[in-house]
Structure 1
């Protein structure tokens, strides 16, 4: 048996405290444990004195506090599956405990491995007691919080694995400042901040380090080059920036894997990489590296994976690449590389994945590529390759082929038997290919994506396409196709996207189109299709986008199409359709551009006759019973004595009805006016009476005056006695149309803050129970994209709202008020903010009756949490106004210049949630362009909405994208988003989509379909 004997009074106190802490998980035994602990402490003191007497006799005691350290560590954890039930504080040592290993000679803990046990909690300092620890592995759990900077683990530690948790904050320097550490993996957490340059000062034994998938920023510590034994470095997926001195990196001659991908690093890859004789992986994608590639890269003969994509590398591919016989993965897409397709490519006999997309390569695709017999994926998209496709290439066992956006000519080669069994994606779009589409394509059993659009094929659609059981995307737009649409196109039932627009197809839409049960995009526009729209199309329950414009379709639209509740965009313009539009779905909200050109279609947006295949109503002509009533013939006496009597009676009835209605309306208006006047007099009397009474009195059921009410607490907290003392100028963080916002710490809880809005008193509800009722309604509007309202404080002179605090400020500051040194908002974060805002507004509009209308959607009211998730603030505050008048609201929101919907300034239009949709549309434009909605120049005023609309109409929309994005955005997301903004900012409120539809449209735009597709 071994004990830890305290040597000082301070250590004795620590032992007592820790021991009591360890027993906190057994409250029923606390009193007995305390008594025993007192006896035990007395014994320890006596035993220490006893040992002192024998100090000169060299008596040694083996100290062991592993049990104490582990029990205290366990007490801080939540163990829902009781994996640590074998950890017993009464044991002599922990060597028999599960997930604990000891050194057999010393019986001290050498390994603690708790990977994947679903544990949660914080990492305290109790593990410092494990002074002989060699391995500490806590990966794939739910640990969270910051780690104390003073944490000092055992100097015997060799392996530290905290990956796949939720740790945050900076790293303790002690983690690698241990000469013994060999392996450290902190990946997939939320560690943040800059790493001190001396972080790797003592990494003499370090072999592997992984800090990937965190939030580190700043430069990579230069002391990393001191880790001479390093063989693996993974710093990917962080926010590291600055110049990398690769001459230092190349000095790590034992390096096997280097991954710096997905950061904001810069620098040139200087020669000298050949010193890395053992290098197998070089992953630098998604950074800002530039210059030419090192000529000696081909002397790293063990290279297996090279990814240099999405950088600014220039020049030609080094010829030494041809020496890399082990290379299986080569990606250099999205750079500035140029030159002919290298002939040495055939030397890469192990090559499986090749991506040269979006560079400036030109020339023919070399026949030597056929020598790469292991090739499974080849991407040449967005270059200037010309000539024909080598037929032998389609004889390989390829899985994915993308030769799109080049200048290839000739015909599409027929696939071999080997290709028929392997190919899943074929994209030859935007080339100059000609000839028939090979029927063999219909035998590609695993094909999921086929895009042959924008070619000169002059072919019919092979009926064999119906045999493609796994096909999800079929895009044959603008390829000069003729003939009819095959009946069996949708036999597989898996087709999600069918785009046949811009061809010369004729005949009717097949009735079997209803078998395409998985379709969410159907594009048949700009063809010569005739006949009716088939009723079976109403079976396409997943359909979101329907494009039938510019055909010769006729007849009435089936009313059953109104059942398609997922439809987000429909265009049926320029056909010969007649009759009413289907009721339901999106059809009643289509704008003019989606309907025009159908002269028999019934819609108030269209001019011309409305033709419906229904019986005409019976019209009685009062003059039709007497030929003498022809107005061209003089009337005789009989005519004057008969027919006019009937005519007179008819007019009298109409007149009586009209006059009666007018009288009723007039009486009603007078009555309502009198009632309103009476009510106003009574209210004025009540208000005057209340002003003369004590301000603290309230009606029954009202909260006490001057008391802080928190919705999540039964009583008011004691951390606030006088709220006005907290609202000083130093804590002010913003000012809006409803009041001033302050950042206030939440009592004694470090690091937690709330936002308090001091409301303007003008026009705010003056009765506490009314205020309480409306605020509680807003407090119940809980959603991940809404700022949570936590409570309020009310007196007649002061009204405060308490809400959650968003640490990343508002969108306004990120777009227009950021420091020059701050990085711009990335496109993924901008899209995340758009989608989150749309979801929050949709919740307000569709989860409450009546809907909660914001009235003031703009970037300053979109707050951002630490992960750039949007949080809408100030929602529903209009409910706190005593009178909701459109003119009052318009005047109040003059600061939202450019965001106010037209109907807010028009007395004759009904104001509803569509005014929020308008503001959201303007905000889309501001997020995409980085410009304000209204900008004043020296000689002109730029209205952003009109500016973008003109650019869209002229096909130059990308000219308006925020230059700070540096072209790092997907066009197939930006363009549909801009078009969505145009729909949202329609001058006619009924033409704008609902926010629920906006959410669906954004989700469709973000859907990872591997092609560009138009949403509208």
Structure 2
């Protein structure tokens, strides 16, 4: 169809040209451009001027430039005009004098035609930022003597680089970045000794960088960033003496830095981040005197930072983070007067905080997660340009400097996780631009200064886990931008200030584990963006503020405030009682009662006094009587059904007189076939370390799963059991199996759960050999769902302790649900040794700290089990596998594969490569991080959820 259109256009033009006088010859450029446009879509009518097919010359058309003497088209520049279609060669080949072809930033699709090689006069080609695909034709560069600049960046070209590219000796600019080009780097590229700029970044090149790069003696910039290159940087790179920018980041390069690099004295930017470089940073780095940017982050460098780095007088950005550097920061760095950004985080640096941190013109500096110690001293001649200062997770001690307010340009100050002491200086109020203040996890005492209200730009205030006392200042209400207020685990007293309700941007408030008292301000209900408000473990009292948020707030955020009341706590607030009602039984009507008759009846003890509280007591007695009757009826039913049922090991009615069945929904708690189900082995779903699980049906026909505990000796008392069961019953989350109720006798305890139809994750991974294997998308959804459910349990202060694939159930929609949680607090006498004995079926999931009596068991045990689950889901293998002569632990096996570069081989072979590597590999790494031997190295589950969501949606 398209060829027919071309033919029609050509015939029309030939007919038109035949009627023109011999003195007006046909213009080939007009013909070529009209044919070229026939292949395009022009939704914005950018090429409306091209519609004049009778034009003698196209030189006035949009995007067209002609030679003023010959009148022939030399430049065709149609950048950023919303054009689409294909780059058709027929029309372009008519432009015999074309020197520049630029179609960048459009929506062209299809492949490149080898026929474009016919434009042998082209000097500049720019087809970047389109949707072109397919391989780059080898024929395209057979006749490229005139080519000087080629950009095919930001497309979808694939395959290997054509060998003919090496014949373009005049090429000075080549940009093929952000495509899907693969294979090794061809050595022929190094023969382009006229190259000044080479950008092959963000492709899929593999193998080593070939030798011979020194022949590119005109090269100014080279970028091979974000490929899969390996091996060492060739020694010959030092021969490219004119190099100004080198970017080899995000590859798998290894070894040390080649000594020849010291010759690159004109180099202004060196980025080698995210590789596997090793060894010490050589002292000659100070000889690269033109460096303005030095990024060696995320490698394996060790040793001291050389003092010669102070010779880099032009250095502006220095990033040595995530390496193994040790020793003190060199004082010579005070010679780097131009420094603006410094990141030395996540190393093993020691010594004091150097004074140059506050004296140079640095704008952003992070030395977090190191071993710095000593006091933090801010000199009088201070840097007022400092915007970000992060010294978190060190061992800095002493007081917070009183002259902190002199750093007037500060926007972020993070001194958390140190050993700072003393009060928060009042000068903090002078930091007018401060957005984030984090002093959490130190030894700070005193009170929160009232001057805090002067920090009007403050968005996040984090002071958790200190020894701060006194009241929360009312001036905090002047920080109108505040979104996060974290003051948990301090010694704060007094009421929550009403001025908190002025902070309409507040999203997160954590005041838990303090000594706050008094009522909650009713105005808090007006905060529109609030999504977390934790005031647990205080002495607050009274009713909750009205409104949707406080009606649905998780009970865990309010717990351990005995005098708080409200619907979210399932605790009624005491009413204001009226005076007692006095009734005269001798009077036929209320109207006949008089003061004198009432007085006389009182004297003769003939009155009946009924107060509201008396009526409540009577009603309570009636309810108790009704409850007793209900239990008796229940036990009669149980006895009746058990007498008709076959004998079994356990007897549901063994303690009928003291039985107590409670359903949280308030519905009829009767089992339609309950006793029979519990006594009939055919209804058994499975057995675990703490009991058996049966399927039964409620009176309303709803199926439930009933767990019959076989650990009665570990239950301390009915009161504690029921209290914890009710707490677990309030947990509601899409990824957590809901506890619907419980049954109690001294010798038998039942837990009633919602019934989940599709079985356990273990069955889906390891037992359904004939069924379809879970897809990668389903596996990722399962992992994310488990993470969300576990994070919610941790927010509710519930540690699972027994996380494994058989305790993860899959519902009909494929959503995972965590079951069998909360046994540790449900059974108060349960300690880690009993627990270990009871959950031997969880072998491979148990965190190593279970073996140590002195280590506290925390949520990090669940994180370890989650990490094992992640690896189990991704690999399809069991946590521990027994071979003929060996035992394979999944965590160790996957970690070994990752270290040897076999990350993709870890994924379940049943997926047959049908999985995104960009998701699978980070998920495996996350699983390994969660299974760290050191609990503090494992992330919180809330962080895990964020990481997984970022892996799925990197944007």
Query: Which TM-score bucket, shorter chain as reference?
Result: 0.5 to 0.7
Question: Of the candidates 160, 177, 188, which is equivalent to residue 125 of structure 2?
Answer: 160
Q: Does 1:185 align with 2:147?
A: no
What are the residue-to-residue correspondences of 1:485-634 with 2, within 5 Å? 485-602=448-565, 612=573, 615-616=576-577
The separation in 1 between residues aligned to 2:362 and 2:239, in whole angstroms, is 35
Q: Could you say what secondary structure the match of 2:400 adopts? A: coil
Contact in 1 for aligned 2:583/2:607 (Cα 8 Å): no
* Matched positions, count: 688
Contact in 1 for aligned 2:316/2:338 (Cα 8 Å): yes
Q: Could you say what secondary structure the match of 1:385 adopts? A: strand
Residue 99 of structure 1 corresponds to 63
Contact in 2 for aligned 1:977/1:1002 (Cα 8 Å): no
Q: Does 1:378 align with 2:342?
A: yes
Scaled by the length of structure 1, the TM-score of the pair is 0.59
Contact in 2 for aligned 1:278/1:302 (Cα 8 Å): yes
The separation in 2 between residues aligned to 1:485 and 1:37, in whole angstroms, is 84
Q: Does 1:356 align with 2:317?
A: no
Contact in 2 for aligned 1:600/1:611 (Cα 8 Å): no
Q: Could you say what secondary structure the match of 1:407 adopts? A: coil
The separation in 1 between residues aligned to 2:559 and 2:952, in whole angstroms, is 26
The separation in 2 between residues aligned to 1:144 and 1:352, in whole angstroms, is 41
The separation in 2 between residues aligned to 1:372 and 1:976, in whole angstroms, is 36
Q: Could you say what secondary structure the match of 2:556 adopts? A: helix
Residue 411 of structure 1 corresponds to 375
Residue 861 of structure 1 corresponds to none
Question: Of the candidates 338, 348, 358, which is equivalent to residue 302 of structure 2?
Answer: 338
Q: Does 1:127 align with 2:88?
A: no
Distance of aligned partners of 1:385 and 1:981 in 2 relative to their CA distance in 1, 3 Å threshold: closer
Q: Could you say what secondary structure the match of 2:404 adopts? A: helix
For residues 659-709 of structure 1, the C-alpha deviation after alignment (integer angstroms, 9 at most, x for no partner) is xxxxxxxxxxxxxxxxxxxxxxxxxxxxxxxxxxxxxxxxxxxxxxxxxxx
The separation in 1 between residues aligned to 2:586 and 2:400, in whole angstroms, is 70
What are the residue-to-residue correspondences of 1:918-929 with 2, within 5 Å? 929=870
Residue 415 of structure 2 corresponds to 452
Residue 18 of structure 1 corresponds to 6
Residue 674 of structure 2 corresponds to none
After superposing the two structures, state which structure 1 stretch, 557-566 or 495-504, moved more: 557-566
Contact in 1 for aligned 2:809/2:818 (Cα 8 Å): no
Contact in 2 for aligned 1:330/1:354 (Cα 8 Å): yes
Distance of aligned partners of 1:506 and 1:403 in 2 relative to their CA distance in 1, 3 Å threshold: same
Distance of aligned partners of 1:444 and 1:897 in 2 relative to their CA distance in 1, 3 Å threshold: closer
After superposing the two structures, state which structure 1 stretch, 550-559 or 328-337, moved more: 550-559
For residues 357-395 of structure 1, the C-alpha deviation after alignment (integer angstroms, 9 at most, x for no partner) is 111111121221111122222221112222223324522
Distance of aligned partners of 1:242 and 1:613 in 2 relative to their CA distance in 1, 3 Å threshold: same
For residues 99-133 of structure 1, the C-alpha deviation after alignment (integer angstroms, 9 at most, x for no partner) is 32223454322111223344444322332322221
User: How much has 1:545 moved relative to structure 2?
Assistant: 1.7
The separation in 1 between residues aligned to 2:809 and 2:338, in whole angstroms, is 69
The separation in 2 between residues aligned to 1:99 and 1:157, in whole angstroms, is 17
Distance of aligned partners of 1:136 and 1:509 in 2 relative to their CA distance in 1, 3 Å threshold: same
Q: Could you say what secondary structure the match of 2:34 adopts? A: helix
The separation in 1 between residues aligned to 2:427 and 2:442, in whole angstroms, is 18
Contact in 2 for aligned 1:242/1:265 (Cα 8 Å): yes
For residues 685-739 of structure 1, the C-alpha deviation after alignment (integer angstroms, 9 at most, x for no partner) is xxxxxxxxxxxxxxxxxxxxxxxxxxxxxxxxxxxxxxxxxxxxxxxxxxxxxxx
User: How much has 1:396 moved relative to structure 2?
Assistant: 1.5
Contact in 2 for aligned 1:246/1:268 (Cα 8 Å): no
Residue 218 of structure 2 corresponds to 254
Question: Of the candidates 188, 193, 197, which is equivalent to residue 223 of structure 1?
Answer: 188
What are the residue-to-residue correspondences of 1:3-42 with 2, within 5 Å? 17-18=5-6, 20-21=8-9, 39-40=15-16
For residues 866-902 of structure 1, the C-alpha deviation after alignment (integer angstroms, 9 at most, x for no partner) is xxxxxxxxxxxxxxxxxxxxxxxx9995694845999
Distance of aligned partners of 1:586 and 1:284 in 2 relative to their CA distance in 1, 3 Å threshold: farther
User: How much has 1:219 moved relative to structure 2?
Assistant: 3.6
Contact in 2 for aligned 1:151/1:172 (Cα 8 Å): no
Question: Of the candidates 341, 345, 354, which is equivalent to residue 390 of structure 1?
Answer: 354
What are the residue-to-residue correspondences of 1:612-691 with 2, within 5 Å? 612=573, 615-616=576-577
Q: Does 1:963 align with 2:924?
A: yes
Distance of aligned partners of 1:444 and 1:645 in 2 relative to their CA distance in 1, 3 Å threshold: closer
For residues 601-626 of structure 1, the C-alpha deviation after alignment (integer angstroms, 9 at most, x for no partner) is 2267869xx68586246665989999
User: How much has 1:305 moved relative to structure 2?
Assistant: 0.4
Q: Could you say what secondary structure the match of 1:200 adopts? A: helix
The separation in 1 between residues aligned to 2:585 and 2:517, in whole angstroms, is 37
Contact in 2 for aligned 1:491/1:515 (Cα 8 Å): yes
User: How much has 1:977 moved relative to structure 2?
Assistant: 8.0
The separation in 1 between residues aligned to 2:256 and 2:437, in whole angstroms, is 39
Residue 914 of structure 2 corresponds to none
Residue 67 of structure 1 corresponds to 30
Residue 399 of structure 1 corresponds to 363
The separation in 1 between residues aligned to 2:424 and 2:368, in whole angstroms, is 20
Contact in 2 for aligned 1:197/1:223 (Cα 8 Å): no
Distance of aligned partners of 1:554 and 1:329 in 2 relative to their CA distance in 1, 3 Å threshold: same
After superposing the two structures, state which structure 1 stretch, 581-590 or 104-113, moved more: 581-590
The separation in 2 between residues aligned to 1:436 and 1:646, in whole angstroms, is 61
Q: Could you say what secondary structure the match of 2:420 adopts? A: coil
The separation in 2 between residues aligned to 1:281 and 1:644, in whole angstroms, is 95
Distance of aligned partners of 1:371 and 1:1006 in 2 relative to their CA distance in 1, 3 Å threshold: farther
The separation in 2 between residues aligned to 1:625 and 1:591, in whole angstroms, is 53
Residue 436 of structure 1 corresponds to 399
User: How much has 1:313 moved relative to structure 2?
Assistant: 0.5
Question: Of the candidates 410, 416, 425, which is equivalent to residue 462 of structure 1?
Answer: 425
For residues 553-589 of structure 1, the C-alpha deviation after alignment (integer angstroms, 9 at most, x for no partner) is 1122223323334223332211111233334454334
The separation in 2 between residues aligned to 1:811 and 1:213, in whole angstroms, is 34
Q: Does 1:286 align with 2:250?
A: yes
For residues 636-679 of structure 1, the C-alpha deviation after alignment (integer angstroms, 9 at most, x for no partner) is xx9999969999xx99x999x99xxxxxxxxxxxxxxxxxxxxx
Distance of aligned partners of 1:939 and 1:153 in 2 relative to their CA distance in 1, 3 Å threshold: closer
The separation in 2 between residues aligned to 1:153 and 1:621, in whole angstroms, is 112
For residues 87-106 of structure 1, the C-alpha deviation after alignment (integer angstroms, 9 at most, x for no partner) is 33222222333432223454
What are the residue-to-residue correspondences of 1:602-1001 with 2, within 5 Å? 602=565, 612=573, 615-616=576-577, 813-814=775-776, 896=814, 898-899=816-817, 929-932=870-873, 962-964=923-925, 978-979=941-942
Residue 206 of structure 2 corresponds to 242
Contact in 1 for aligned 2:286/2:311 (Cα 8 Å): yes
Distance of aligned partners of 1:967 and 1:217 in 2 relative to their CA distance in 1, 3 Å threshold: farther
Q: Could you say what secondary structure the match of 1:129 adopts? A: coil
The separation in 1 between residues aligned to 2:176 and 2:136, in whole angstroms, is 11
User: How much has 1:264 moved relative to structure 2?
Assistant: 2.8
Distance of aligned partners of 1:198 and 1:583 in 2 relative to their CA distance in 1, 3 Å threshold: farther
- RMSD after superposition: 5.1
Q: Could you say what secondary structure the match of 2:513 adopts? A: coil
Residue 873 of structure 1 corresponds to none
Residue 172 of structure 2 corresponds to 207
Contact in 1 for aligned 2:551/2:567 (Cα 8 Å): no
Distance of aligned partners of 1:936 and 1:554 in 2 relative to their CA distance in 1, 3 Å threshold: same
User: How much has 1:979 moved relative to structure 2?
Assistant: 2.8
The separation in 2 between residues aligned to 1:900 and 1:116, in whole angstroms, is 52
User: How much has 1:183 moved relative to structure 2?
Assistant: 0.7
For residues 5-46 of structure 1, the C-alpha deviation after alignment (integer angstroms, 9 at most, x for no partner) is xxxxxxxx9998437459xxxxxxxxxxx8x668448779xx
The separation in 1 between residues aligned to 2:532 and 2:43, in whole angstroms, is 48
Question: Of the candidates 95, 104, 120, which is equivalent to residue 139 of structure 1?
Answer: 104
